[in-house]
Structure 1
Amino acid sequence: MKKWLAVILMISALLIAGCSDNSAAGVSTENSTIQKALKNKKLVIGMSTGYFPFDMKDPNGTFVGYDADTAEALAKALGVEIEYKQFTFDGLIPALQTGEVDMVFAGMTIRGDRALAVSFANPYFQTGQAVMLPGTDTATKTWQELDVKGKKIAVGIGTTGALLAKDVFKNAEVMDFENFPDAAAALAQGQADGIVYDEPAIAVWKLQNGDKVRQLEGLISTENLGIALKKNDFETIQWVNSFLDSYLGSPTELASREKWFETSDWLSEVVEE
């Protein structure tokens, strides 16, 4: 009896020790982005400017826009400062993977292929892909009319619009550009017949350029935008989701949304890159 009791006690002790170790490993937060930011008193944010009205710069080089407002509110809630780093859009995920940035705020569409490389917080904005035409094109009514040989469709490299265009346009040529302004310049110069890009950016470009451009009615697709985080950083994912639950729909967020999406006064306060 005593031997059995000793064996049971030994097994119990081993199980407790094992569970304790596993628990510690499972909930360890020493490598999380949140803990790193709290320790360094700084959060490094990756952005790609040129995506109006999400990611822009003012004449002083300060990052502004809806994403910058959201990032600033998040940093304030965490009690840390922000350092911004700029990349081309297709360089953002590699920068996050290598630890060069802590989070990515770039109007990034949540997609399965991207979720294999990074994790996303809950969506913070819903948008869709639209088509912009030269103002002189008053005949085209649907995007399908552009899908003929000889037509050229401009897209921003690495964007959801680029992926979508290459999937749905079977006959037209899809041309990659570094960003939306470059694609829009190609359209203005007659090098492209249309652009596929996020609807908010096209709407802002229309405000800037008036009758020089025209947006086709309707969307090709709809999608959710998310903040990209380090893969499987569960503490940070949970914290950012909790922040978004309190921020979205708050007076601060509603004021930011109204400024960037419902007015055009700020257009004179930003620069095109």
Structure 2
Amino acid sequence: MKRIITLVAVLSLLLCAAMSAQAADIELAKTSTLEQIVQRGTLRVGLEAGYMPFEMTDKKGNIVGFDVDMVREMAKAMGVKLELVNTAWDGIIPGLLSGKYDIIASGMTINQERNLKVNFASPYIIVGQTALIAKKSADKIKSWKDLNQPGIVITSKLGTTGEQAAKRLFPKATYKSFEMEDQAMLETMNGKSDATVYDLPMTSIFYSQHGKDAGMVFLDEPFTYEPLGWAINKGDPDFLNWLNNFIVQIKNDGRYERIYNKWFGSNDWYANIQ
């Protein structure tokens, strides 16, 4: 008899614990950014319009690109409107943390340092660092490993993984940072630096549009592994779950392939960019 009473007591405690956990999950779901987006009727996306072909401004002043088309599909799947918030790169994570927008979709590389501040959904594309070499330096730089020597000047964009890679992998070289990636690449094209380290496909686009005719050499084999992901605030499992499922579905129903081919399959879009 005592065993039966004890068993009933244990079952009652387990039931209460389960009900308490379920109630906590429901309360957590109510505070999710996903719920706020649906209630507000708008998905607010933080990005910096200057990273071709992920996000950039066309001749009409509209922000377009691979990331833009992806989040447009995201908003459509949520049944809400899309609001793009153009933000300087060095303030893009603080903007998310302060609630300026709901998500960052701006070609952001997933790394440990950023992951301390934000959560990332599963990668939606993989890129890596490549190098554009000035015409004057082509004879002495045949591989990315040749960049790590005294007297070599390397450029990249401030606050990016290109900058991090240049400092980490080429400590013997001199590094110069620029506010925008095209400034860094023009510095090399004009012979004022030896190389620019930056993300593929941005380097590929610059080379095909400008660098090839200027005699630059493009070391197009990436020497880093860089998965790009959408960043959201920590402590939001519901939103993270939704985003990961969205990535799986869009990659398997033809939408991802259509968007990818539009922006990476050709350079036809470049004629409409400022």
TM-score (normalizing by structure 1): 0.90
- 1:211 aligned onto 2:213: yes
Partner residue, 1:101: 101
Partner residue, 2:193: 192
- CA shift in 2, pair 1:157/1:79, >3 Å: same
* Counterpart code for 2:41: K
Q: Which is further off, 210-219 or 83-92?
A: 210-219
SS at match of 2:213: helix
Partner residue, 2:256: 253
Q: Which is further off, 111-120 or 149-158?
A: 149-158
Q: How does 1:1-273 map to 2 (within 5 A)?
A: 16-27=15-26, 28-139=28-139, 140-209=141-210, 210-212=212-214, 213-271=216-274
Q: Deviations over 1:47-106 (max 9, x none)?
A: 112211111111222111111111101111111111111122232111111111111111
What is the distance in 2 between the residues matched to 1:10 and 1:251? 54
Identity over aligned residues, as a percent?
32
SS at match of 2:107: strand
What is the distance in 2 between the residues matched to 1:15 and 1:247? 40
The size of the alignment, in residue pairs, is 269
**Root-mean-square deviation (CA), in Å?**
2.2
Native 8 Å contact 1:135 1:211 kept in 2: no
- CA shift in 2, pair 1:250/1:183, >3 Å: farther
What is the distance in 1 between the residues matched to 2:14 and 2:220? 64
What is the distance in 2 between the residues matched to 1:195 and 1:138? 13
What is the distance in 2 between the residues matched to 1:155 and 1:43? 32
What is the distance in 1 between the residues matched to 2:220 and 2:266? 21
Q: Which is further off, 149-158 or 197-206?
A: 149-158
* Counterpart code for 1:112: Q
Q: Deviations over 1:181-203 (max 9, x none)?
A: 12123223433211111111111
* Counterpart code for 1:240: L
Q: Which is further off, 141-150 or 10-19?
A: 10-19
What is the distance in 2 between the residues matched to 1:202 and 1:245? 28
Q: Which is further off, 121-130 or 14-23?
A: 14-23
Native 8 Å contact 2:135 2:189 kept in 1: no
Native 8 Å contact 1:90 1:158 kept in 2: yes
SS at match of 1:176: strand
Q: Deviations over 1:135-188 (max 9, x none)?
A: 444312112222222221111122111111111111111222222112123223
Superposition deviation, residue 29 in structure 1: 1.1
What is the distance in 1 between the residues matched to 2:236 and 2:99? 12
What is the distance in 2 between the residues matched to 1:73 and 1:188? 37
SS at match of 1:29: helix
TM-score (normalizing by structure 2): 0.89
Native 8 Å contact 1:50 1:181 kept in 2: no
Superposition deviation, residue 10 in structure 1: 8.1
What is the distance in 2 between the residues matched to 1:145 and 1:167? 14
Native 8 Å contact 2:136 2:194 kept in 1: no
Superposition deviation, residue 21 in structure 1: 3.1
